[in-house]
Amino acid sequence: MHGRHITRRGLMLTAGSALVSGAALAHADEVDAAPSNADEALERLKTGNARFARGESIHRHQSHEWRKRLTKGQNPFATILSCSDSRVPVELVFDQGFGDLFSVRIAGNIIAEDVVGSVQYAARHLHTRLFVVMGHESCGAVTAAVDALLGKLDEPEHIAALVRMITPGLTNLDRKKSRNALITAAVEANVLWSMRQLARMPEAQKHLREKRIALVGAVYDLDSGTVRFVETPPGLLDGK
């Protein structure tokens, strides 16, 4: 009798869980209004990351039906330049799904020629209003750049070339800090350096001046899962 009671209870719990999961999935794939401006887009990213960091992701926009809708075109609400690191998948970090984000990934979130082309495409053809440059703690590319500053770089040609694209943004770092503290500071400095380079593009300058787009920086913490949006220094977006 006791065993039958447990079995029934288990069935009820399973059924209840299925109903909740189904409701959550339906909610996650609802056609919600796209952010109308950069502020709303940024708020959606912050809200999604908060869910992710709490372990409460809703895994939005991943169903078969949703993917079918996207065969007619895409309308991402934000463009994110981030590192290629396998621990930093932006759609998961911000709890977004197919078609929500235009993701540009490259080691060290550097500004290379193909990156510029991708960002320009997002602005001109996809009309995203929010652009985010996101670095992350313990970035291997930034660590290599710090080692180069300390005269300890031992990497092959192409990695060294990548590092050379990062080091100009690290010139103001205090080299008296410990290596770990230096790497942490360098991660944010590299984000700001990539932002500065993007802001110098004539088309970006025009859009920023007219407030048609917003450019922000962020750093992802591997341990907590949180994204910290960094303060933009005065003048950084002025193209100087």
Provide the edge-to-edge strand list for the sheet that holds 78-82.
101-105, 78-82, 130-136, 214-220, 227-230
The per-residue pLDDT for 231 is 96
3-state helix, strand, coil in the chain (%, to 5): 55, 10, 35
- Please enumerate in sequence order all residues whose Cβ is within 8 A of that of 88, keeping only pairs 6 or more positions apart, or say none: 82, 134, 136, 220, 222
Whether 185 and 169 have beta carbons less than 8 Å apart is answered as no
Take residue 92 and report the two structure tokens written for it.
Answer: 């998961």
* Phi, psi dihedral angles at 84 (to 5 degrees): -75, -5
Q: Is the pLDDT of residue 240 over 90?
A: no
What is the average per-residue pLDDT within 20-38?
63
DSSP assignment letter at 30: S
Condensed to tens digits (0 to 9), the pLDDT of residues 55-84 reads: 999 998 999 999 999 999 999 999 999 999
- 142 and 149 Cβ atoms separated by less than 8 Å: no
pLDDT tier for residue 97 given thresholds of 50, 70 and 90: very high
**Residues 143-185: tens digit of each pLDDT:** 999 999 988 888 899 999 999 999 999 999 998 899 999 999 9
User: pTM (2 decimals)?
Assistant: 0.86
Average pLDDT over residues 31-41: 86
DSSP conformational letter for 35: P
Rounded Cα gap, residues 67 and 184, in angstroms: 38
Instruction: Work out the percent of the chain whose per-residue pLDDT is above 90.
Output: 80
CA–CA distance, 108 with 126 (Å, rounded to integer): 24
Closest-CA residue to 183 (of 230, 139, 118, 238): 139
User: DSSP letter string over 107-175?
Assistant: GGG---HHHHHHHHHIIIII--SEEEEEEETT-HHHHHHHHHHTT-----HHHHHHHHTTGGGGTTS-T
